[in-house]
Structure 1
Amino acid sequence: MYFPFLRGKQNELLALKNLKDAEILSDSIFPVIEPVKYSKQLVNTLKGLLSEGHNMILIMNPSVGTFIEELNDNEQQMDEILKIMSHPSVTIGYHLNSEAALEELPQLVERCSRTLADTAIFHNNQINLDIYEKIFGEFEARYNFIPDQKPLKRRFRNKNGVIFRDAFIKRTPNAEYLNYEVEWFSSDHLDFEDEEFLGFSDYSIVGKEYAESGFGAKAIAIHVIYPDESNNLWIRHFVSDSNENRADQAGKFGEALSKFVEWYDKTESVLINTQGLNELLDCAKNGNYPGLGMLKRYSIKHHLELIGNMLVKV
């Protein structure tokens, strides 16, 4: 099972919605959504996924953004989210990062009309493991997301553990990717069962680092995940060349896109024939620049569809 961790920003939500609407969101994809702010797009996306029978995890104490503050200031919005959280296909996500969880988590579960068995706990490190034991006693959360640390891996192996990594190496500025055209991404989709975990999770091609909004970059980079002959995953970066200033974003995109098209035409794997990459190819055919937000959406859609296809294949 793949648990992509997506911050609830517009293009991440729309990537899920587009795949759902096209009926290509695999049942092996179990999205984790950490909402950074309340929006109608968030609510509509969640309701749309639930109406199609998709499971999800919604984090109710986000580590970034203004979501909690907005809900606390608006009773109607709070009631709307709590109603969604009461749905049996929704699992309550919670960052276990302080002793406040001893009181806060049981109260949150009660407000959502659920039980502690309906939770997904995100462990930052083993320091707070004793808090988990105090809350759950002899029971377990439905899912335990853990970093690659031996004490946590030993504790949750074969006990609904999900290995959680940031597989995307963020480089700043984007022009740095010219020095790292191809990089290792992950083999967790091949290894998680052998390591006795229920599933695996990452931040897709976005990475853990959070930014409230984007802006025109000196260099535009297209990030594409692809499998090698052994089905290990690699990431390839296609980067513009005219990177002296922020002028002509469309031209920069065209430079990166031409590199992607040349690579795609030489790559034979049917697994990369995804909706997201086909939308990039359409940009090349039509000569249009969709904007950085859409570019991010295409890459996320490709990644989710690719992983869904590979979990069936392997």
Structure 2
Amino acid sequence: MYYPFLRGKQHELFALRDLNEAGILTEGIIPIIEPVKYSTQLVNTLNGLLNSNRHVIVIMNPSVGTFVDDLIENEEQLEEVLEIMNHSHTIIGYHLESDKALDELPQIVERCGGGLENVAIFHNDLRNLITYDQLFGELEAQFNFIPDETPFRRRFANNNGIVLKDSFEKRTPNAEYLNHEDEWFSAEHLYHEEEGFIGFADYSIVGEEYTESGFGAKAVAIHILYPDNQNHLRIRHFVSDSNENRADQAGKFGEALEKFIEWYNENSSPTINTQGLNELLACHHNGNFPGLGMLKRFSIKHHMELIGNILVRV
């Protein structure tokens, strides 16, 4: 199983919505959403997934954003979210950050329905394993998302563990990707089961670092995942060349897109022919600049559909 970790930002939510509505979000994918704020897009996306009989993990104590404050300040929004959380296919996600979880998590579970054994715990500090053991006793959480660290791997191998890795090497500024056009991404989809884990997780092509909003960059980069001849995942970066200033974002996109088209014509295959890539191809055919937010959406959609295609084959 694959668990893509997405912040509840507009284009990440729309990427999920598009894949779900197109019927190409495979059963081997359970999305994780860490809401950064309340929005109608968040509610509509979650309801769309649930109405399609899909499972989804929603983190109820996000580490970033204003989601909790939004719900505290608006009773109607709180009730709307609680109704979603009480759905049988919604899984409560929780960052285990301190011993306040001893009081807070049972309260969240009670309001959202279910039991502790149905919770997805996100671990980040070994010292909090004492709190985890106090909470769960002889039980285990339904999912334990852990960093790629040996002590965590030993503790949760064969105990509902899932390694959550930031496989995307973020480089600043974007022009730096010109020096790293093709990079390793991951092989967790091949080895997680034999290592005792029930799935694998990552932050897609966005990365773990959270930023509130984007802005025009001097260089435009398109990030595309693909499998190599051993079925390992690699990522290819297609970067504009006229990167002296932030002017002419459409022109920069066109430069990066031409590089993608050249690569695609040489590497096209049924596995990588996804809706996200077809939308990029349509931009080239129509001479259209969709905007940087849409470019992000295309890449996320491609990533999730590609993983789904690969899991069917593994």
Smaller-chain TM-score bracket: over 0.9
- Corresponding residue SS for 1:92: strand
Aligned counterpart, 1:125: 125
Matches within 5 A, 1:87-166: 87-166=87-166
Aligned counterpart, 1:284: 284
The answer to whether the Cα contact below 8 Å between 1:122 and 1:146 also exists between their aligned partners in 2 is: yes
- Corresponding residue SS for 1:264: helix
State the 1:269 CA deviation.
3.0
Within 2, Cα distance between the matches of 1:155 and 1:122?
14
State the 1:202 CA deviation.
0.3
State the 1:256 CA deviation.
0.2
State the 1:310 CA deviation.
0.3
The answer to whether the Cα contact below 8 Å between 1:125 and 1:149 also exists between their aligned partners in 2 is: no
Aligned counterpart, 2:10: 10
Q: Which moved more, 1:149-158 or 1:4-13?
A: 149-158
Aligned counterpart, 1:200: 200
- Corresponding residue SS for 2:246: coil
1:103-159 deviation digits (Å, cap 9, x = unpaired):
100111011122101100000031211110001011111000011122211111111
- Corresponding residue SS for 2:128: helix
Within 1, Cα distance between the matches of 2:76 and 2:271?
44
1:205-245 deviation digits (Å, cap 9, x = unpaired):
00001111111110000000000011000000000000000
Aligned counterpart, 2:300: 300
Paired residue total? 314
State the 1:99 CA deviation.
1.1
Within 2, Cα distance between the matches of 1:22 and 1:107?
37
The answer to whether the Cα contact below 8 Å between 1:189 and 1:200 also exists between their aligned partners in 2 is: yes
Within 1, Cα distance between the matches of 2:116 and 2:79?
20
- Corresponding residue SS for 2:83: helix
- Corresponding residue SS for 1:272: coil
Within 1, Cα distance between the matches of 2:221 and 2:169?
13
Within 2, Cα distance between the matches of 1:311 and 1:158?
21
The answer to whether the Cα contact below 8 Å between 1:5 and 1:32 also exists between their aligned partners in 2 is: yes
Within 2, Cα distance between the matches of 1:151 and 1:172?
31
Aligned counterpart, 1:312: 312
Identity rate, percent: 66
Within 1, Cα distance between the matches of 2:87 and 2:21?
21
Aligned counterpart, 1:247: 247
Within 2, Cα distance between the matches of 1:43 and 1:241?
40
State the 1:20 CA deviation.
0.7
Aligned counterpart, 2:269: 269
Q: Partner letter of residue 284 of structure 2?
A: A
Aligned counterpart, 2:210: 210
Within 2, Cα distance between the matches of 1:113 and 1:270?
42
Aligned counterpart, 1:80: 80
TM-score by structure 1 length?
Answer: 0.99
- Corresponding residue SS for 1:271: coil
Within 1, Cα distance between the matches of 2:304 and 2:44?
20
- Corresponding residue SS for 1:68: helix
Aligned counterpart, 1:238: 238
TM-score by structure 2 length?
Answer: 0.99
Within 1, Cα distance between the matches of 2:113 and 2:312?
35
Within 2, Cα distance between the matches of 1:70 and 1:125?
27
Within 1, Cα distance between the matches of 2:82 and 2:229?
45
Moved segments of 4+, more than 3 Å: none
- Corresponding residue SS for 1:148: coil
Within 2, Cα distance between the matches of 1:152 and 1:207?
21
Residue 38 of structure 2 is aligned to residue 38 of structure 1: yes
Q: Partner letter of residue 106 of structure 1?
A: P
Aligned counterpart, 2:173: 173
RMSD between aligned alpha carbons?
Answer: 0.7
Within 2, Cα distance between the matches of 1:227 and 1:125?
33
Q: Which moved more, 1:299-308 or 1:143-152?
A: 143-152
Within 1, Cα distance between the matches of 2:81 and 2:268?
44
State the 1:270 CA deviation.
2.1
Within 1, Cα distance between the matches of 2:25 and 2:148?
27
Q: Which moved more, 1:91-100 or 1:264-273?
A: 264-273
